[in-house]
Amino acid sequence: MNASIKTTKSFNSAIALFFSGVLLTCLAGCAPSETKTAESVSPESFASAASDNEASRSSEDSQVSFSSSKQSVSSQVEASTASKPSSASSSTVLSEGKLGEDSPSTPSDNASSGLRGFMALSQYPELPNGCEITSLAAVLAYYGFDVSKTTLSDVYLEKAPVGQANFYEEFVGDPRDDDAYGCYSPVIVNAANSYLASAGAAMQARDISGSTSSELYSYIDRGIPVIVWATRYLEPGHYSVTWYVEGESLQWYTPEHCLVLVGYDPGSNTVQLADPLEGSVVDYDMDLFETRYAELKNQAVIIE
């Protein structure tokens, strides 16, 4: 009996030793040969990454902001019974050039009463508030004059600081600045005639402010584009800022905008306007255009 117990104990001890060896071997094989540490990141690298991310986010935010702004404009115009016009058919819209190009976009013939081959210009990005001088540049190009919107703005446009300018006499601010305002028809007439005189041209700009809408359309019938004042996308406008120049109270009407009337179609009740905001010719509702034109004091300019 004692011999059997001893044999059993010896057998159990051998088994225990065997499994202990296996366990030690396994532990030795599974353990990493060296400890893997977390990859170190310098404060500079982290700051750089954060900066890159912030830049990317800022870019996305600006795109979202621009999109929201356009949607807001659409909503406002729809609320005023005049939705922002969509681009017209290829028969009435000129193809849009690259943003900021000083050269005109490719011309296309209008299907209705309008000017054949009128080339639209974009005011962006050089002149964020240069709709008036860009409209003048487009009309001069139509007549064959080779002068850029930026040259007209920098050399021939009379300007004065915001709060000190009379918008009937000078451009309020600078078209290159985001915080500028604009100008009215006499300023564009003076800029046009200053350039035409320097070019030795026989043509002259003429202020035809006070013209009725029918009179405007008669110029189109004669092949004469008309620079007109209205509002941005024909939105509802209002008087916003007031300042005084030599004792005279001046009130700015916003969102003032300047375009070129190049066609009209009584059948579809639309007008075709070369819009510097779009860099193309766009169909707008005729009745709404006439309303906004009247609100901006029936201002108009031609060159002949």
Q: What is the pLDDT of residues 71-109, one digit of tens each?
A: 333 333 333 333 333 333 322 332 222 223 343 433 334
* pLDDT of the residue at 29: 38
Digit-coded pLDDT (tens) for 208-243: 999 999 999 999 999 999 999 999 999 999 999 999
- Strands (E) located in 85-157: 113-114
Digit-coded pLDDT (tens) for 168-212: 999 999 999 999 999 999 999 999 999 999 999 999 999 999 999
Q: Are 178 and 130 in contact (CB under 8 A)?
A: no
Residue type for position 105? S
Q: Which of 107, 77, 145 is nearest to 289 (CA)?
A: 77
Domains observed in the chain: 117-303 (3.90.70.10)
Does the pTM of the predicted model rise above 0.85? no
If you average pLDDT over every residue of the chain, what do you get? 75
**How many other β-carbons are positioned within 10 Å of the β-carbon of residue 140?**
23
